[in-house]
Amino acid sequence: MAGRTMPKSQTAPPGVTRVMWYRGLPVNRRADDNAEADRLLGIYLGDHFAGATGGLALARRIADVHKNEAYGPPLSAFAQEIAEDRETLRRMMIDLGFSLPQAKSAFAWVAERAGRLKPNGRLMSRSPLSAVVELEAMRAGVETKAACWRTLRAVAEHDDRLSEAELHRLVDRAEDQAKRLEEMRLGMLTPTFRPDAPEVRDAEAAEEGEAQWESKPGEPAHSRRTGE
């Protein structure tokens, strides 16, 4: 429908740059733009929440698989952090007035289980390659999460419903998680691709990884070996 011309006897309210007429009623274009921005942000966060649901399922599964191995404790701690981050995102979505995407989350849960059927060199069982590929997937998920926190940090500059300080902390936490996951992944390369190499390298890497996950809540973990 074509826009109506504003009668000369009426003037636009202060601060309104464009006013369109629909059914004789003025519509604030700025308000429409804000509503559309909120809608898009809700979709964006819903997608990330669904991804967090699948990521949490993967983190818990790989932690359970390795629970009796050297990497068990750090992987278990990682899964707990992923659960905490997902809950933080859920709270932020509620604070912003967005509903949780139940259908997307259910799909992500199913997709994670379907991902167990990915090729790993063995048809009916796990192979050493499974852990390497899963750690790569988890690191990719963490880096995507960090991007989400950075996006929200930028939004927080103009939206007091979000805390910039909290988002700064979450960005640092995600970057530290990615670093620790990469160290664990590298530690698994030798027993996977060079099983004839000394196992002490893998044991030392696992010990260092476990120490790094023993950091204070909310603070980036660092290696005791380097003294950082």
Task: Look up the CATH number of domain 29-213.
Answer: 1.20.1260
The H or E element spanning position 20 is: strand 19-22
Query: The pTM is what?
Result: 0.66
Confidence of residue 204 (pLDDT cuts 50, 70, 90): low
Confidence of residue 69 (pLDDT cuts 50, 70, 90): confident
Asked if 82 contacts 52 with a C-beta cutoff of 8 angstroms, the reply is yes
Judged by average pLDDT, the poorest of 23-37, 128-142, 195-209 is: 195-209
Task: Supply the pLDDT for residue 21.
Answer: 36
- Per-residue pLDDT at 184 exceeds 60: yes
Residue 100, Cβ neighbours under 10 Å: how many? 15
Residue with tokens 């950075």: 150
Task: Supply the pLDDT for residue 93.
Answer: 95
